[in-house]
């Protein structure tokens, strides 16, 4: 391994999705401190250490750079064009992650992650490297996936109002959905558990009922291949 042909380096990048009522579905980005692309926004990530699994690397980098803990992690795609990093040939395995709504709020309040920030998926800034492409791939994947697997719950806390769930889907899919058909389909899945609490109304309107996500039932059905379409 001589210096004249530097080896390929391996990195991971993590597209982190979060949700809040105010901002809708958002992505976590960090501001770069050094060249290249100094001060540009980028997807969190970094090099994989020898002996470390890819998922370990994602968790480690996210902890270091943002302090966040994810509730869902899935490999997205591996980006390997030789010129995607101007310094050297870096191949990056991209993941997409979902974090609970409570984590979303915590990060927003934290001063620790001063250079990390949420961006709604329809108001993204310019991005470093080929990160715009990675982000597009991630958004496409999540939009596709959420239609046949109920991963949306990973973005909400254990308890949530039906209205929240609906707004999440509207924000994620970027289009209106029929509230009546949506609720029928969701309830038919038998993975929601009704509680006798109600969301305290903000402003006008009838308060919506609070549900719990029944993860046990979800996992049981997942084994047999869940059927789910918005």
List contacts with DNA (CB under 7 A). Answer: 161-163, 166, 178-181, 183-185, 198, 200-201, 203-209, 229
Question: In the bound complex, what is the minimum distance in angstroms from residue 48's beta carbon to its own copies?
Answer: 6
Q: Which does 51 bind (CB under 5 to 8 A by kind): its own copies, DNA, none?
A: its own copies
| Minimum separation from the CB atom of position 13 to its own copies (A) | 12
Residue 195, token pair as written in the block: 């509680």
Q: Does 225 bind its own copies (CB under 8 A)?
A: no
Q: Which of 39, 53, 105, 110 binds its own copies (CB under 8 A)?
A: 53
Of the pair 83, 176, the CB lying nearest DNA is at: 176
Residues with Cβ within 8 Å of residue 133, at least 6 apart in sequence: 79
CB 166 within 8 A of CB 179: yes
| Alpha helices (runs of H) in the chain, residue ranges in sequence order | 54-66, 101-109, 131-148, 162-173, 179-188, 215-223
From the list 39, 69, 78, 227, which residue makes contact with its own copies (rule: CB under 8 A)? 78
Largest Cα–Cα distance of the chain, in whole Å? 70
Q: Which is nearer to DNA, 96 or 162 (by Cβ)?
A: 162
Residue 22 contacts its own copies per CB under 8 A: no
Specify the DSSP class assigned to residue 179: H
Phi-psi category of residue 174: left, alpha or beta, with phi > 0 → left and psi -120 to 50 → alpha = left
Q: Which does 229 bind (CB under 5 to 8 A by kind): DNA, its own copies, none?
A: DNA
In terms of DSSP H, where are the helices of 67-203? 101-109, 131-148, 162-173, 179-188
Residue 8 CB, nearest approach to its own copies (Å) = 5
Contacts to its own copies by CB under 8 A: 1, 5-10, 48, 50-54, 75, 77-78, 80-82, 89, 91, 93
């Amino acid at each position: 391994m001589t210096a004249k042909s530097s080896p390929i380096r391996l990195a991971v990048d993590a597209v982190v999705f979060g949700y809040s009522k105010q901002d809708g579905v958002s992505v976590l980005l960090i501001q770069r401190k050094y060249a290249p692309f100094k001060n540009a926004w980028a997807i969190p990530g970094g090099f994989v250490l020898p002996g470390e699994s890819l998922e370990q690397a994602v968790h480690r980098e996210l902890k270091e750079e943002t302090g966040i803990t994810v509730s869902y992690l899935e490999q997205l795609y591996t980006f390997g064009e030789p010129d995607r990093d101007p310094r050297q040939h870096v191949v990056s395995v991209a993941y997409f992650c979902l974090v609970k709504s409570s984590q979303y709020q915590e990060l927003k309040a934290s001063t620790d992650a001063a250079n990390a920030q949420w961006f709604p998926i329809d108001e993204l800034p310019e991005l470093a490297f080929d990160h715009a492409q990675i982000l597009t791939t991630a958004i496409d994947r999540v939009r596709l996936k959420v239609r046949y697997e109920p991963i949306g719950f990973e973005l909400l806390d254990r308890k949530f109002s039906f209205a929240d769930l609906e707004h999440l889907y509207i924000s994620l899919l970027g289009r209106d959905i029929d509230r009546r058909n949506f609720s029928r389909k969701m309830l038919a899945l038998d993975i929601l558990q009704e509680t006798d609490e109600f969301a305290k109304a903000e402003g006008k309107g009838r308060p919506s009922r609070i549900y719990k996500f029944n993860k046990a039932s979800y996992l049981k059905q997942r084994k047999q291949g869940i059927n789910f379409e918005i």
